[in-house]
Amino acid sequence: MAIEIKNYPTNKSEDWRYFNLKPEKVKEVLSFNEFDNETVFFKKLAEKIEHKKYSQFFNEIDYQKDFFKNLIIEKGRFEKVVFEEKENSINEYFILDSGKTLSRQVDITVKPDCKTVLTIFFKPLENSFLNLLFNFLVMENAELRLNIILDGEENSLLFFRTNHKLLENAKSSVFLLQLADSFTRIETMANLENGAEFNRYQTNILNNSSFTDTLFKAFHYGEKSKSEINNLSIVQDKAKSILNGLLFIDEKAKNTKAFQSARNIILSEESYSVSYPQLEILNPDVECSHGTSMHSFEDSQLFYLKSRGIDEKEAKAMILNGYIDFFYKNMDNKIKKYFLDFCHRKIKELM
């Protein structure tokens, strides 16, 4: 699959460009199969909770229209989901068969004062195309914890988007683990009102010739809103990871706190990982920062472990696992163990 990377503008009103797929590849992807409108996974998810009318709030977070979004509109299927109980926890495992194509939009509302934990494992098999858009409306004093694992096989194509509308004092936390040996676009948008809080943690562990293009934008429109965006990328072989992030602080969003960081760990000469964290601040009464780093293993770390009888491969695995364990320290313990098991197995594969 031939991919070209365009420059990314910084202004919040400008469109953020996708990597360009060659026309013949798009045609190949779309010719696999007709879009599957009756997938068991989404039917199961919809049956678990009550359907409600499409919310007007979702119209406000239609940040970008493009070819892949239009596929959802024209050929996909819509699901509407509402969580009204005080405590909800749903775990799902979804496999898209080899050569299949699926486009789906799911709109989820978390009612006031409710807490919802949603954990989903997506595994598109070889030569499949999975195109997903999740819209979340988290209402006053509600909380959403979203745990996602993406593990696509070789030559699969995956677009995964989440839009978050956070009303007053709402909280949303996203933990995303990207292991896919595929071409993947991950996109996260958040719109924060007064007192809202948005946290996002993404880890990419990539090898072979996999490619991941990640975009996030957090828009702070309310006072005393908070966001923390963290990204960890570990790349080997000919894998590539690109991250573009923007924190936008509106002129009315005083006393806002916003932070973003990105660590890129590069394990081979032909792998590539780069991050572009950006700030757009229109109010001086805020606390904001951003940072990024690119490195491999530090000689002092390896020397310390090897001097205690640990061989080099095991020492490198210990260092990488240490970064990952610390990265997910804010996860619920039960889900964290599940995530870390996947991470440690993938790190072992890299070594």
What is the per-residue pLDDT for 3? 33
Which segment, 26-30, 85-89, 173-177, is predicted with the most confidence on average? 173-177
Tens digit of pLDDT for each residue in 55-75? 333 333 333 444 455 555 555
Kindly indicate the confidence band of residue 263, based on its pLDDT and cuts at 50, 70 and 90.
Answer: very high
What is the per-residue pLDDT for 164? 93
Higher pLDDT, 289 or 100: 289
Q: In DSSP terms, which residues pair with 214 in a beta bridge?
A: 186, 243
**Token pair for residue 8?**
């990314």
Q: Mean pLDDT, to the nearest integer, of 41-47? A: 46
What is the per-residue pLDDT for 69? 56
Q: Mean pLDDT, to the nearest integer, of 305-331? A: 87
Higher pLDDT, 108 or 31: 108
Residue environment code for 301-338, b if the CB has 16+ CB neighbours within 10 A, otherwise e: ebeebeeeeeeeeebbbebbeeebeebbeebbeebbeb
Mean confidence (pLDDT) of the chain = 78
Relative to beta strand 3-4, strand 77-83 is unpaired
What is the per-residue pLDDT for 170? 97
Task: Assess whether pLDDT exceeds 90 at residue 39.
Answer: no
pTM: 0.81
Coil vs helix vs strand at 193 = coil
Relative to beta strand 143-150, strand 171-178 is parallel
Higher pLDDT, 170 or 212: 170
The size of the chain, in residues, is 351
What is the per-residue pLDDT for 38? 37
Q: Mean pLDDT, to the nearest integer, of 35-48? A: 43
In this structure, of 121-125, 127-131, 225-229, the range with the lowest mean pLDDT score is: 127-131
- Rounded to 5 degrees, φ, ψ at 324 are -70, -45
Kindly indicate the confidence band of residue 14, based on its pLDDT and cuts at 50, 70 and 90.
Answer: very low
Quick one: which H or E segment has residue 48? helix 40-48
Pick from 107, 90, 106, 91: nearest CA to 39: 106
The residue ranges of every structural domain in the chain are: 3-296, 300-351
Task: Assess whether pLDDT exceeds 50 at residue 53.
Answer: no
Task: Assess whether pLDDT exceeds 50 at residue 158.
Answer: yes
Tens digit of pLDDT for each residue in 322-335? 889 888 888 888 88
What is the per-residue pLDDT for 97? 82
Higher pLDDT, 10 or 126: 126
Task: Assess whether pLDDT exceeds 80 at residue 51.
Answer: no
Task: Assess whether pLDDT exceeds 90 at residue 193.
Answer: yes
Higher pLDDT, 293 or 97: 293
Pick from 229, 224, 217, 212: nearest CA to 191: 217
Task: Assess whether pLDDT exceeds 60 at residue 337.
Answer: yes
